[in-house]
């Protein structure tokens, strides 16, 4: 079991560029989440999904879009990157809604 994997691990973007972060889980979890982690602010929920084909907004959704076309994958898109989106992004999944979330290793994104 690989658990939760994220690609890429690191990325540098210029302002205005777009990119997609991929999250994959092999635990057959229904629920998947995207968080961003910034110093002194903990982790904040961007978007989440309660099942294949469904997505919902979290605390800080502006500037991001998501898709869950397959149960095992959850994609996070940045259409026009801004320096404020410089952060470490974590994907997580859980079998039951919210409880015992399993996190991936993170993607460090820098927007210049």
Q: Does 103 bind another protein (CB under 8 A)?
A: yes
Beta strands in the chain (DSSP E): 4-7, 10-13, 19-25, 31-37, 43-49, 56-57, 65-67, 73-78, 87-94, 102-103, 107-111
Q: How many chain residues are in contact with another protein, going by CB under 8 A?
A: 26
Q: CB under 8 A: which stretch of 12-20, 63-71, 77-85, 104-112 binds another protein?
A: 104-112
Longest dimension (CA), the chain: 38
Out of 7, 27, 83, 100, which residue is the one contacting another protein (CB under 8 A)? Answer: 100
Out of 21, 55, 104, 111, which residue is the one contacting another protein (CB under 8 A)? Answer: 104
- The three-class DSSP label of residue 85 is helix
CB of 84 vs another protein, minimal distance in Å: 19
Question: What's the CA gap between 36 and 41, in Å, rounded?
Answer: 9
**CA count, 13 A, side-chain hemisphere, 109:** 32
Site string for another protein, 8-47 (x = CB under 8 A): -----------------------x-x------xxxxxx--
Question: What residue ranges bind another protein (CB under 8 A)?
Answer: 4, 31, 33, 40-45, 48, 58-59, 90, 92, 94, 96-106
């Amino acid at each position: 079991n690989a658990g939760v994997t994220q690609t890429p691990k690191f990325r540098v973007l210029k302002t205005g560029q777009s990119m997609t972060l991929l999250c994959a889980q092999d635990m057959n979890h229904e629920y998947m989440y995207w968080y961003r982690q910034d110093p002194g602010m903990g982790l904040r929920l961007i978007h989440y999904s309660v099942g294949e084909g469904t997505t919902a907004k979290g605390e800080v959704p502006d500037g991001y879009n998501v898709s869950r076309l397959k149960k095992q994958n959850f994609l996070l898109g940045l259409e026009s990157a801004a320096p404020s989106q410089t952060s470490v992004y974590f994907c997580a999944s859980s079998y039951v809604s919210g409880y015992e979330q399993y996190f991936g290793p993170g993607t460090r994104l820098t927007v210049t």
